[in-house]
Amino acid sequence: MSNNSKDTIFIGKKPLMTYVTSAIIQLATMPLITIKARGMTIAHAVDVAQIVLQKTKPAFVIGDVKIGSESLVSQDGKNRDVSSIEISLKRAEA
């Protein structure tokens, strides 16, 4: 599994359906994509994955889900641990 920028969707502050549309477009041409999020946007990543699955049922399924934490330097210079998630969506096997 390659994690280049073309098969990865990074969740941020845009509206939810922006990411859903992007995921569906990418899944039309790629067999596998990864949705990544950190911190407060983890809930949006889960929502995006669930909406994509509901709209494309039964064409795609959830593959691997990886959770972890990353150490980041905040604006005040302190190290903070931030939770992260990676959700893989792939074509369903016939």
Query: What CATH number should be reported for the domain whose range is 5-91?
Result: 3.30.110.20
pTM for this prediction:
0.88
Cα angle, residue 23 at apex, residues 73 and 44 outer, rounded to 5°: 50
Q: 29 is written with which tokens?
A: 């041409």
Per-residue pLDDT, 57: 87
Per-residue pLDDT, 1: 40
| Domain residue limits, the chain | 5-91
**What pLDDT, in 10s, does the model give residues 34-57?**
999 999 999 999 999 999 999 998
Whole-number Å distance between alpha carbons of 92 and 94: 6
Q: Across the chain, what does the average pLDDT equal?
A: 92
Per-residue pLDDT, 6: 75
